[in-house]
Amino acid sequence: MTGETKENLENKYYDWPLFKRILGYLRPYRFLVVISLLLLLAVSMLGLAGPYLTKVAIDDYIRIGRYEGLNRIALIYIAVLVGAFVFQFLQYTTMQYIGQKVMFDLRTQVFAHLHKMSFRYFDRNPIGKMMTRTVNDVEVLNEMLTSGLILVFSDLFTLIGIFLMLAWLDWRLMLMVCAVFPFLYLATQAYRVRARDALRKNRAHITTLNSTLEENLSGMTTVQLFNQESTQYRKFWEINRDKLKEDLRSLHYNSIYLPSIDIFSAIGIGLVIWYGGGRLVQGEVLLGVLVAFLMYLQKFFEPIRDMAEKFNIIQTAMASSERIFELLDTPEELPNPKHPQSVSRIAGNIEFENVWFSYNKEDYVLKDVSFSLKEGESLAIVGATGSGKSTIINTLLRFYDIQKGRISIDGVSLKEMNKQDLRRHMALVQQDVFLFSRNIIDNIRLGNASLGLEEVESVAQSVNSHHFINNLPFKYEQELIERGSSLSMGQRQLLSFARALAFDPRILILDEATSNVDTETERQIQDAIHELMKGRTSIIIAHRLSTLKTVDKVLVLKHGEVQEFGTRQELLRNKGVYYDLLKLQMELSD
Amino acid sequence: MKRIKAFIPYLLAYRWEISIGIIALLATDLIGLAIPWILKNFIDLLPHKPSGSELAGYAGLLFLAAIGQGVSRFGWRKYLFGPSRKIEVDILNKLFRHLQTLDKTFYQNQKVGDLMSRATNDLRAVKDFLGLGLLVVLDAVVVIVAAVALMIAINPRLTMYALVPLPFLSILFFGFIKTIGARHTAIQENLARITSMVQENLAGIRVLHAFVQEEHEMKRFDDLNRKHIAKNMELAKLFGMFTPSLVLTIGIAALITLWVGGKEVIAHQTAIQSGEVVENAFSLGSFVAFNGYLLMLSWPMMAIGYVINLTQKGLAAMDRIQEIFDSRSSLVAEVSAASKELSEGGIEFKDLTFNYPNEPDPVLNNIDLKIAAGSTVALIGMIGSGKSSLAQLIPRVFNAEDGAIFIDGQPIREIPLDRLRSHIAFVDQEPFLFSTSIRNNIAVGRSDATDEEVDTMVRCVHLTPDLERWPQGLDTVVGERGVSLSGGQKQRIALARALIRNPKILILDDAFSSLDIETEAIILRNIQKITHSLTTIVITHRLTITRQVDQILVMEHGRIVERGNHEMLIKNEGLYQRMYTNQALAREMEILLQ
C-alpha cells in the first residue's frame, strides 16, 4: 500500500505531451472548435462592451448633458445584451457537443481496445480498474474539455481584451498598472509549484484511501471474523489524516494566493486613482476613461482568480488521461495475421503437434502435447486438477498463444487465421455458465439477431431447455440477472447448451460440470450433450464415467503430458488408466 | 430540515473556526461594499480639482480596504473551507467505523460499488454543501441585503426601476431547476447502464470472445453512448439557456440604470449649472457607485442557481449516507455476565430453523445436531442444500434464532462476539486476502506471531514449494501491486491464517476446492499433527475425505437427510451413495494420475 503511494508521488511531470495528445481528440471537430472559439471571443468582447458604453455615456452625453445620445447608447446596449445571450447559448451548446463527441470517441475506443486485449491482460487486471478507465476517467476528461479548458480560453480572451482596451483608452495609465504584473507573476509561480505538489500528494492519498475502503468493504466478513476492526480502522484513519493534511495544505495555498490577487488589484486601482486622478485634474484624461478603467481593472483580476480555481480540475483530468492512454497503449498481444487464411468453411479436423505452453515463463502447463481428431470425432480429456485440461481448450480457442509446436484445423495453423473467424466455428460450454442480464432469448442467441423466437425455441427443445423456460413467468422474454441466481445449476447448464447449439458450430468444446444435480436433471443433461455432439468434432473435459463410454477417443493428461491417447478400443487393449477407470465403472454399476 | 439535523453535530465540533470564518466573511462583504462608496466620493471630488495629497489619500484608503479584504478573505477561505474538509474526514471515519459494525445481511444487499460511491461521491456533495453551499448562501444574503439597502440610500426611485427584472429571474429559476434535475437524473441512469454494460462485458469476456460477439457488443455500446450524447445535449441546451439568461437579466438592470440614471444625472447637472439647489442629488459619483452595487448583485444572483444545485445534490447525498448510518447490525449482543471462556469446542444445534432476513422460506429446517469437541464432521449435499448457511451460523456471520446453537453448553448469543470469533477459524472457497505481504496475511489475526510460528504454518499448509516462485518469498505483496495468486495458493494462505490463531473450532467451507487430492490429504494430516482436539467441520463437494471423518452429514433442502460414517451410508443406497458413484471418475483420476 505504501509502495503504491510512493509510485504515484514519484510521477514525472510530463504534462505537455499528454496535453497535446488530449487536444488530438479535438482534431475531427476542429471546424466546430474554431466556431466555438470565435463565439467565445465574441462573448468575451461583448462582455467588455458594458464598461466602454458606460464610458461613452459619461464622457459624451451625461457630462455634457445630451439626452438623445443616451437613448442611442441604450439601444446599442440592448443589442449587445441580446447578442451576448445568443452567442453564449450557441457557444455553450457547441462546446458541450464537442465534449460529448470526444467522450464518445474516447469511450468507444477504450471499449474496443479492451475487447482486443488478450486473456493474459484480463488475468492480470481487476475488472474494477478497467471499468474506472472506461467510465469515470473518460467522464473526468470531458469535464476538463468542456468546462476547464474552455474557461481558460474564455479567461484568456477576456484578459487580452481588457488589456487591449486599457491600452487603447490610455496607454500611459495602462503602463502604470503593468507595474503590478511582475509581482503577480511571481506570486502565481510560487503558488503553482506548491499547489501542484499538494494536489498530487492529496490525490495519491485519495487513491490509497479508496482502495483501502474498497478492500475493507469487499472483505468485511473476513475483517470481522478475524476481529480486525480496530486495526483496519486505525490504518484507514491514518491515511485519512495524511490526506487531510495535504488537503489543508492546498487550501492554505489557495487561501493565500487568491486574496493576494485582490491586493494586486487594489494596488492597480490605487495607482489609477493617484496617477489618473492627477492627470484628470490636469485635463489630460476624461472622467469616463477613468471610470471605465476602474471597472475594467475589477474585471481584469477575475479571470486570473478563475484560472487558479480551474487548476485543480485540469490536474485531475491529466491524471485520468494518463491512465486512459496507458490502457490504450497496451499493445494487442495476439494480433490477427496480416493476410489471414480464409476459413469460411471448415470440416473440423483438429491436430495438436508437440504443443508447449506456459502461463508463466518456464512453468510449462502443456508439455509436448500431441493428438489429432478427425472431422466428427469426439474426444474426452481426463486428468487430475491442474493437469492442463482447460489449458488445451484455451489454446485451441486461441485465448492464448502457444510457445512451441503447432495447432491446426484442417491443416491450417491457428496463427494463420483470424481469431474471430476461427472462433466462429467453435462453441464453448463452460463449467460455470455465465449469464448476461438480458432476457432468455438474447442469452441463447446472443448477438445473432437473425435467429427468431421459433428457431430459438426449437434449439432449446432439442437440448431439453424448452420445458423449464416455458414455465418461467415471461417465458423466453424472462429477464435474467447477471449471476442468474433465479435459475438452478442444472437449468443454467441446459441454457448454455442451447446457446452453443444456436451457433451450430463445427467444433464443440465442453467442460462438463462437476456439481451434483438431481437424477432427472442429470439425465436431461446427458441427453442434451448427446444431441450437441451429433455430427460435430467434440472435445469434452470429462468428469463423469458415463461420458467416457460415449466418445470415440480418450486423452489422459498427467502433469501437462499425454499419458494415454487413442480410441477406446486401443486404450482398452493397453490396460492403462482408461482400462482401470472402466473397470471401476463396472464395479460401481454392479 | 430533519435531514440536515444529523449533520449539525459535525458542524458544532468546529464552531469556533466556523465563527471566525463567518466573521471574516462578513468583514469581506462589508469592505467590498465600502469600496464603491469610496469611489463615489472620489469621483464627486474630481470636478473640484483635488490636490495630490487628497488623491493619494483616496488611493491609500482603497489600498487599505483591499488589504483588509485580502486578510478577511484569507480568513473565511481557511476557516470555512477548512472545517468542511475536516468534517468530510470525520464523517468518512465515522462511516467506516459504522460499516465495520454491519453484518453480512447488510453487505449481501449492497453492491460494493454503490457503497463506495456513497462514501466518495455523496460525501463530496455533502462537503460541498456544508462548505461552499452555506458560504454562498450567507454571502449572497449579506451582499444582496446590503447592496440593495445602499442602492436605496443613493437613489430609491432608480433602485425600484433597476430591480424590475429581478423577479423575472426567480420565475426563470424555479421553472428551470426542476427540469434540470429530471434531466440530470436521466443522464445518471444512462451512465449507470453504461457502467454495468462494461462490467458485464468484462466479467463475461470469455463467452463473448468464444462466440465472437465483439462487434455486436461494440454496436450495443455505441448505441448506449449515442443515447448518452443525446441526453447530455438535452441538459446542455437547458443550461446553455440558463446562465446567459441570468447574465441578460443583470444586463437589463444595468441598462435601466444607465438610461434612467443617466438622465437623472444630466438633470442634476443642468440644475447645478443653472444654480438651483436640488434635493436627493444624483451626482456622477453616485451614479458610478450605484452601478458598482448593481454589479455586485450579479454574482449572488447567479450563485442562487449554484446553491440550489448544491443543496439538491447535498441533501440527496445526505439521505444516502444517512441510510447507511441508519442500518443496524442484526447481531445484538446479549452477553450474560456468566459467560466463560470456550474451552472444548463442542457444538450443538437444537431444533434450528433459519431463514435469511427478508426471505420467506427457511433454508434450514429443524436441525438437531451434536458435534463432539475434537471430532471431525463432513457436511455434504448439493449446491443450495444449506451446508454453508449452517456453517456460517456458528461464527455468527448470520444470526440464528435464540437458543438454537450452543458451544460448550453456552448459547452463542451470550458469548461476546469477538471472543466467539477468536476461537473459530472459518475458511471459505474464495478467501479474501488483504493487499499486504503474504506474511502479514498469515499473521493477520495474530499480530504477535513470531517468524517461526509463521514458518510452521507455511509448512503445515504445504506452501513451501510455492515460496520459491514468489520474488520476495513470504514478504511478497499480494494483489494488484504484487503477485496474483492461484486459487489454491489463496486457499492455503487463508488456511494458514486461520490455524495460526490456534482455534478451537475449524470450519472449512469447500476450502480445498482448488487443491489436488494429494495436497488436501497432506494438509489434513498436518493439521491433525499440530493441533489437538480441534473440532473440524468440512464442507466439501469432493467425497475424498469422507472415509476418514467421524461423522458424515448429508443435507438436502435444508434438512439433514442422512448421517453416519462412510460404510453405513454406502450401504444405505441413498443420496450419498449416488453422489459417491457419480464422482468416481473425478476421484479416481485424481488418485490414479498423481
Closest approach of B315 to chain A, Cα-based (Å): 23
Checking if the pLDDT of B97 tops 70, the result is yes
Q: Which of helix, strand or coil describes residue A218?
A: helix
Q: Are residues A512 and A485 part of one domain?
A: no
- Check CB contact of B337 with chain A, cutoff 8 Å: no
Closest to B500 in 3D by CA, of B575, B422, B406: B422
Among B115, B245, B258, the residue with its CB nearest the CB of A73 is B258
CATH class of B1-155+307-328: mainly alpha
Closest approach of B528 to chain A, Cα-based (Å): 22
Q: Do B259 and A54 touch (CB under 8 A)?
A: no
* Least confident segment among A101-115, A406-420, B201-215: B201-215
| Burial group, residue A586, by CB count within 10 angstroms (0-12, 13-18, 19+) | exposed
| Burial group, residue B509, by CB count within 10 angstroms (0-12, 13-18, 19+) | buried
Determine the pLDDT at residue A2: 36
Helix extents (H) in A431-478: 440-445, 453-462, 466-470
Q: Are residues A324 and A260 part of one domain?
A: yes
Checking if the pLDDT of B1 tops 60, the result is no
Q: What percent of chain B has pLDDT over 90?
A: 7
* Domain-located, residue A470: yes
| Cβ(A222)–Cβ(B431) below 8 Å | yes
Determine the pLDDT at residue A242: 92
Determine the pLDDT at residue A149: 73
Q: Do A225 and B424 touch (CB under 8 A)?
A: yes
Closest approach of B531 to chain A, Cα-based (Å): 19
- Check CB contact of B192 with chain A, cutoff 8 Å: no
Q: What is this structure's pTM?
A: 0.78
Which structural domain, as residue segments, surrounds residue A258?
A: 2-328
Checking if the pLDDT of B342 tops 60, the result is yes
| Cβ(A262)–Cβ(B66) below 8 Å | yes
Q: Do B116 and A267 touch (CB under 8 A)?
A: no
Contacts of B578 by beta carbon, 8 Å cutoff, 6+ apart: A519
- Check CB contact of A249 with chain B, cutoff 8 Å: no
Determine the pLDDT at residue B24: 92
- The Cα-based distances of A247 to A137, A242, A461, B139, B525 in angstroms read 21, 9, 63, 24, 54
pLDDT tens per residue across span B371-429: 988 888 999 887 778 888 899 899 888 888 888 898 888 888 888 888 888 888 899 88
* Domain-located, residue A467: yes
Contacts of B445 by beta carbon, 8 Å cutoff, 6+ apart: A226, A227, A228, B422, B497, B498, B500, B501
Determine the pLDDT at residue B594: 64
Q: Do B422 and A93 touch (CB under 8 A)?
A: no
Q: Are residues A321 and A227 part of one domain?
A: yes
Checking if the pLDDT of A37 tops 70, the result is yes
Q: Do A260 and B585 touch (CB under 8 A)?
A: no
* Least confident segment among A42-46, A270-274, A376-380, A454-458: A270-274
Determine the pLDDT at residue A590: 56
Alpha carbon distance B444, B370 (integer Å)? 31
| Contacts with A, B 476-505, CB within 8 Å | 477, 480-481, 484, 488, 497, 501
Q: Do A233 and B97 touch (CB under 8 A)?
A: yes
Report the CATH number at residue A558: 3.40.50.300
pLDDT category at B115 given cuts 50, 70, 90 is confident
Task: Identify the residue with better confidence: B335 or B362.
Answer: B362
Task: Identify the residue with better confidence: A499 or A133.
Answer: A499
* Domain-located, residue A161: yes
CATH class of B347-430+503-592: alpha beta
Determine the pLDDT at residue B236: 85
Checking if the pLDDT of A241 tops 90, the result is yes
Q: Are residues A254 and A119 part of one domain?
A: yes
- Check CB contact of A277 with chain B, cutoff 8 Å: yes
Q: Do A385 and B86 touch (CB under 8 A)?
A: no
- Check CB contact of A214 with chain B, cutoff 8 Å: yes
Task: Identify the residue with better confidence: A181 or A444.
Answer: A444
Q: Are residues A45 and A127 part of one domain?
A: yes
* Least confident segment among A63-77, A254-268, A406-420, B502-516: A63-77
pLDDT tens per residue across span B43-84: 788 777 777 788 788 888 888 888 888 899 899 888 988 998
Assembly ipTM:
0.82
Q: What percent of chain A has pLDDT over 70?
A: 95
Number of domains in chain A: 3
- Check CB contact of B188 with chain A, cutoff 8 Å: no
Average pLDDT over residues B472-497: 79
Alpha carbon distance A57, A47 (integer Å)? 17
* Chain B residues with beta carbon closer than 8 angstroms to that of A580: 588, 592
Among B39, B497, B501, the residue with its CB nearest the CB of A294 is B39
Q: Are residues A419 and A276 part of one domain?
A: no
* Least confident segment among A169-173, A533-537, B270-274: B270-274
| Cβ(B387)–Cβ(B380) below 8 Å | yes
Nearest residue of A to residue B382 by CA position? A516
Determine the pLDDT at residue A3: 37
Residue B536, strand partner residues: B376, B506
* Chain B residues with beta carbon closer than 8 angstroms to that of A590: none
Average pLDDT over residues B221-227: 92
Determine the pLDDT at residue A475: 85
- Check CB contact of A256 with chain B, cutoff 8 Å: yes
- Check CB contact of B525 with chain A, cutoff 8 Å: no
* Domain-located, residue A335: no
pLDDT category at A482 given cuts 50, 70, 90 is low
* Chain A residues with beta carbon closer than 8 angstroms to that of B86: 244, 248
* Chain A residues with beta carbon closer than 8 angstroms to that of B158: none
* Chain A residues with beta carbon closer than 8 angstroms to that of B195: 131, 135
Q: Do B112 and A218 touch (CB under 8 A)?
A: yes
* Least confident segment among A164-173, B1-10, B158-167: B1-10
| Number of CB atoms found within 10 A of residue B274's CB | 7
The pair phi, psi for residue A564, each rounded to 5°, is -145, 145
Closest approach of B95 to chain A, Cα-based (Å): 11
- Check CB contact of A503 with chain B, cutoff 8 Å: yes
* Chain A residues with beta carbon closer than 8 angstroms to that of B585: 382, 542-545, 547-548, 581, 584
Report the CATH number at residue A207: 1.20.1560.10
- Check CB contact of A359 with chain B, cutoff 8 Å: no
Q: Are residues A240 and A114 part of one domain?
A: yes
* Least confident segment among A424-428, B474-478, B505-509: B474-478
pLDDT category at A544 given cuts 50, 70, 90 is confident
pLDDT category at A538 given cuts 50, 70, 90 is very high
| Cβ(B191)–Cβ(A427) below 8 Å | no
Q: Do A563 and B116 touch (CB under 8 A)?
A: no
* Domain-located, residue A334: no
The pair phi, psi for residue B556, each rounded to 5°, is -150, 130
Q: Do B284 and A287 touch (CB under 8 A)?
A: yes
Determine the pLDDT at residue A5: 38
In a mutagenesis test of the B interface, which of A109, A255, A421, A508 is the best target, namely the one with the most B β-carbons within 10 Å?
A255
Determine the pLDDT at residue A28: 92
- Check CB contact of B472 with chain A, cutoff 8 Å: no
Q: Do A131 and B92 touch (CB under 8 A)?
A: no
Q: Are residues A587 and A463 part of one domain?
A: no
Determine the pLDDT at residue A233: 92
Average pLDDT over residues A27-50: 87
Determine the pLDDT at residue A6: 38
* Domain-located, residue A52: yes
Residue A505 φ/ψ region, left for φ over 0, alpha for ψ in the -120 to 50 degree band, beta for the rest: beta
| Contacts with A, B 408-467, CB within 8 Å | 418, 421-422, 424, 426, 431-432, 434-436, 444-445, 447
* Least confident segment among A412-421, B275-284, B563-572: B275-284
Torsion sign, CA atoms B567, B568, B570, B571? positive
Q: Do B382 and A258 touch (CB under 8 A)?
A: no
Closest approach of B534 to chain A, Cα-based (Å): 18
If you ran DSSP here, which 8-state letter would residue A58 be given?
A: I
Q: Do B89 and A244 touch (CB under 8 A)?
A: yes
Alpha carbon distance B594, B591 (integer Å)? 6
Q: Do A226 and B501 touch (CB under 8 A)?
A: yes
Determine the pLDDT at residue A161: 85
| Contacts with B, A 119-158, CB within 8 Å | 119, 122-124, 126-131, 134-135, 139
In a mutagenesis test of the B interface, which of A39, A123, A145, A225 is the best target, namely the one with the most B β-carbons within 10 Å?
A225
Average pLDDT over residues A27-38: 90
Q: Do B431 and A222 touch (CB under 8 A)?
A: yes
pLDDT category at A31 given cuts 50, 70, 90 is very high
Checking if the pLDDT of A7 tops 50, the result is no
Strands in B408-491 per DSSP E: 410-411, 424-428
| Contacts with A, B 223-282, CB within 8 Å | 225-226, 228-229, 232-233, 236-237, 239-241, 243-245, 247-248, 251-252, 254-255, 258-259, 262-263, 265-266, 269-270
Q: For chain B, give me the number of helices (H) and strands (E)?
A: 25, 10
Q: Are residues A576 and A495 part of one domain?
A: no
- Check CB contact of A207 with chain B, cutoff 8 Å: no
Mean pLDDT of chain B: 83
* Least confident segment among A309-313, A421-425, B260-264, B433-437: A309-313
pLDDT category at A57 given cuts 50, 70, 90 is confident
